[in-house]
Amino acid sequence: MDNEKNRAEMPWEEKREERFRRWLAPSGVTYDTPAAETAYRERVTRFIRALKLEKPDRVPVVLPASFFPAHYAGMTLRDVMYDYARLKRAWLKFLREFDSDSYTAPGLVYPGRVLDAIDYRLYTWPGHGQPDDMPSYQYVEGEYMKPDEYDAFLRDPLDYALRYYLPRTMGVFEPFQKLGPFTAAFGAPIRMMSLAANPRVQQVFRALAGAGREWSRWQKTVREISRAALAAGFPAFRGGVCVAPFDTFADTLRGTQGIIMDMYRQPDKLHEAMERMVPFTVESAVDSSGASASPLVFIPLHKGDDTFMSGKQFEKFYWPTLRKVLLGLIDEGLVPMLFAEGRYNHRLEQVTDLPRASVLWHFDQTDMAEAKRLLGGSQCIAGNIPTSVLVTGTPGDVKEYCRQLIETCAPGGGYILTGGAAIDKGNPDNLRAVMAAAREYGVYRK
């Protein structure tokens, strides 16, 4: 009890130090060699110093490779989505053959059989709505929440999720559409048994149990790969994950068309719903961070960029609830990693109201000189080798691009070298050139 009280009163910096210490020395790891252990500490220290706007020994690198390990091993994404042994082989091969400062386990290479079994509708993937050799899956935007359903959401978000959202996004849950409110359990919980007696509901749970067993087989493989990476001395960079409240509604509930109608026709309902999401978003990000030693919370930002909305709309619709989520995460000692997809040139001066050195901004196509000038003094920045250079350029092109980036962004510390976005295919030597550039041009002189 005392401990909890102390923790609540602790300044966020101290809570973060606690998480940094855990990242530096994760429990239960047996390193392959003493050298691997030393290298692990060096790598994590490099990231921590950059995040705190200090100078590390050299510029740290996150290789911009998402599903690339499959391609590198001569496999398709479909192969590794459906065969966990091959998934493991491909990711371990990549681990052994590429030098980097971190390692990304295939936690986003979702198991194809589970997606099939639950009839997942938010993605198309190779062999399912896409050719077998497609190197990535794609998100299917839709109006999964109708314009007149904000009240149902606000009244009871969980009930809304169970009876409206899940049945629309995962076919397996369709029978839930026909049920009465789950919140009816209060008062006489025994009534829930009539649900369990419903043959269609039983079917849902049977299907979920089967898909769940498959999911756990996949998870086991991902864990084995993560453990192997740690043992070899490569820290995990991404820990937890969450989404900006505006994107929750714009991407996954209302769709682009729908959210824009709401901005004009029912802005108050939208604001209320986004506010409602803030505590859930923080809680689920903290929860999803639990499995990883890394304190970084990955937050892909979509519909707040320069082209999606005006500065005024960003200030009104996007930033306030996102900022609350960020402050909530920071207060937990976590480090939000904001992946600003698209361009954030006009946002750089709008996002300065956060504690110093508390988040990481990963930019995609933002002007890095401006990012360094306007944000570099207050937050760590990362980015942004264009995927076009990584995919269509030569290793020489990549190295030269990285040299210029380092020259622009590295002075004084607080910079991580990585891609604008990640690549799924291309010349492996282009990825090696990123690391070579950091070693050659990114060393900080004492």
Partner 1 sequence: MSGDFANLLADLKEDEVIKLTKQRLDSGEDPMKILEDSRKGMELVGKRFADGEYFLPELVFSGELLKQVTEIVKPHITETTSDAKRRGKVVLGTVAGDIHDIGLNIVDFMLDVNGFQVYNLGVDVPAARFVAKVKETGAPIVGLSGFLTPAFDAMKETVEALDKAGLRGKVKIMIGGGQMDDEVRKYARADAYGKDAMAAVTLAKKWTGAS
**Could you give the CA distance from residue 280 to residue 241 in angstroms, rounded to a whole number?**
13
Residue placing its CB nearer to partner 1 in the complex, 214 or 305: 305
Q: Nearest approach, Cβ of 407 to partner 1 (angstroms)?
A: 20
Q: Smaller CB distance to partner 1: residue 28 or 131? A: 131
Measured distance CA(294)–CA(282) in Å, rounded: 16
Kindly tell me which of 50 and 115 has the beta carbon lying closer to partner 1. Answer: 115
Q: Is there binding between residue 308 and partner 1 (CB under 8 A)?
A: yes
Q: What are the C-alpha distances in Å from 184 to residues 138, 158, 190, 263?
A: 37, 12, 10, 33
* Cα 252 from Cα 257, distance rounded (Å): 12
Amino acid in the structure at residue 227: R
Residues 52-81 binding partner 1 (CB under 8 A) are: none
Q: Identify the CA nearest to 423 among candidates 394, 397, 389.
A: 389
Is 423 a binder of partner 1 (CB under 8 A)? yes
Binding part of the chain for partner 1, among 147-155, 179-187, 330-338, 420-428 by CB under 8 A, reads 420-428
CB closer to partner 1 out of 331 and 400 = 400
- Stretch of residues binding partner 1 (CB under 8 A), selected from 4-12, 35-43, 124-132, 319-327: 124-132
The arrangement of strands across the sheet holding 129-130 comes to 129-130, 123-126, 138-139
Of 137 and 173, CB closest to partner 1: 137
Contacts of 395 (CB under 8 A, 6+ apart): 427, 429, 430, 432, 433
Token pair in block for residue 263: 């901005």
Give phi and psi for 336, each to the nearest 5.
-65, 130
Site string for partner 1, 265-294 (x = CB under 8 A): x-----------------------------
Query: Does 127 sit near partner 1 (CB under 8 A)?
Result: no
Does 261 help bind partner 1 (rule: CB under 8 A)? yes
Q: Of 214 and 262, which has the nearer Cβ to partner 1? A: 262
Which one-letter amino acid corresponds to residue 197? Answer: A
Residue 358's Cβ-side half-sphere holds a number of Cα atoms within 13 Å equal to 21
- Under the binding rule (CB under 8 A), the answer on residue 146 touching partner 1 is no
| Burial class (CB within 10 angstroms; exposed 0-12, middle 13-18, buried 19+) of 106 | buried
Q: Indicate whether 389 belongs to the interface with partner 1 (CB under 8 A).
A: yes
**Of the two residues 235 and 426, which places its CB atom closer to partner 1 in the complex?**
426
Closest C-alpha to 378, from 396, 361, 394, 397 = 361
Q: Which of 145, 229, 253, 263 binds partner 1 (CB under 8 A)?
A: 263
Nearer to partner 1, 177 or 392 (CB): 392
| Structural contact between residues 379 and 345, judged by C-beta atoms closer than 8 angstroms | no
What strands, in cross-sheet order, belong to the sheet with 240-241? 240-241, 296-301, 335-340, 360-363, 380-385, 415-419
Near partner 1 by CB under 8 A: residue from 219, 313, 350, 408: 313
User: Whole-number minimum distance, CB 306 to partner 1, in Å?
Assistant: 8
Residue with smaller CB distance to partner 1, 136 or 408 = 136
Interface stretch with partner 1, choices 104-112, 204-212, 304-312, 429-437 (CB under 8 A): 304-312
Q: Taking CB under 8 A as the rule, does residue 148 contact partner 1? A: no
- The size of the interface with partner 1 (CB under 8 A), counted in residues, is 32
Tell me the backbone φ, ψ of residue 339, rounded to 5 degrees. Answer: -95, 100
Of 194, 198, 310, 394, the residue at the interface with partner 1 (CB under 8 A) is: 310
Rounded to a whole number of angstroms, the minimum distance from the CB of residue 84 to partner 1 is: 24
Nearer to partner 1, 68 or 176 (CB): 68
Distance CA 438, CA 398 (A): 11
Closest Cα to residue 301, out of 271, 331, 321, 327?
321
Residues within the interface to partner 1 (CB under 8 A): 124, 130-131, 134-136, 138, 140, 256-257, 260-261, 263-265, 307-310, 313, 386-389, 391-393, 420-421, 423-425
